Amino acid sequence: QLTQSPSSLSASVGDRFTITCRASQGISSYLAWYQQKPGKAPKLLIYATSTLQSGVPSRFSGSGSGTDFTLTISSLQPEDFATYYCQQLNSSPYTFGQGTKLEIK
Amino acid sequence: QVQLQESGPGLVKPSETLSLTCTVSGDSINTYYWSWIRQPAGKGLEWIGRIYTSGSTNYNPSLKSRVTMSVDTSKNQFSLNLNSVTTADTAVYYCARGHVAEPHAFDIWGQGTMVTVSS
């Protein structure tokens, strides 16, 4: 099981934003992060905990190992307001966190 | 660029079988893992299962008894069958490609297709 916190957050453009994803058991570095905007498919941001997917801006970063992981956006841009999901890649079923909705303050 | 497109009925009756196809364009379907993921309205993502181009499959245990996936490399397509559906199966269904370096992270997604289970 993956638990994300917070479930929702309001922030402003330019803020630093961090989400936590906690796994109920160790998953090494097998974690991915996605961004989803309303009515759209999720977009892969990061895999293997910290590897940025091609084309993803460098303001996105990921860290962690074992059971605790974070996604950080160094300086929020207007297009970053969306819902974010973590996903464990360690073992089947490849479950997702419940999501964190980031809204504009 | 690679694109995925889901197709299939948008309305399925309870107890019947949900059948969807994903057509891959812009690249060969070979040598990748292909998955189905679903998302009920306003809720999170659920991985349904995956298939490799050899035909080997891995299903979510919560759905395993009802799911069948297949691949047709000649058509660059893969498919999902979910039988004995109930209203709980109403969701947007996505097909997705496994990343070449990390097959269970999904780097290319279809736009999604809404499937409603209702009589």
What confidence tens digit (pLDDT) does each residue in B31-63 have? 899 999 999 999 999 999 999 999 999 999 999
A48 touches chain B (CB under 8 A): yes
DSSP class of residue B102? Answer: S
B17: closest CA among B85, B101, B72, B69? B85
State in Å, rounded, how far the first CA of chain A is from the last one. Answer: 30
Q: Using one digit for the tens of pLDDT, what is the confidence trace for A18-67? A: 999 999 999 999 999 999 999 999 999 999 999 999 999 999 999 999 99
- Beta carbons of B112 and A41 less than 8 Å apart: yes
What is the model's pLDDT at position A14?
Answer: 96
- Whether B45 sits inside 8 A of A32 (CB atoms) is no
| pLDDT tens for each residue of B58-115 | 999 999 999 999 999 999 999 999 999 999 999 999 999 999 999 999 999 999 999 9
Give me the residues paired with residue B59 across strands.
B49
* A93 has a chain B CB within 8 A of its CB: yes
Reduced to 3 states (helix: H, G, I; strand: E, B; else coil), residue B87 is: helix
Mean pLDDT of all residues in B8-34: 96
Please list every residue in chain B whose beta carbon sits closer than 8 Å to the beta carbon of residue A82.
Answer: none
Determine contact: A43 vs chain B, CB below 8 A: yes
Residues A32, B102: C-beta atoms closer than 8 Å:
yes
Other beta carbons within 10 angstroms of residue B111's beta carbon come to 14
Residue A94: Cβ-neighbour burial (10 angstroms; 0-12, 13-18, 19+): buried
Report, as an integer, the average pLDDT of A71-77: 97
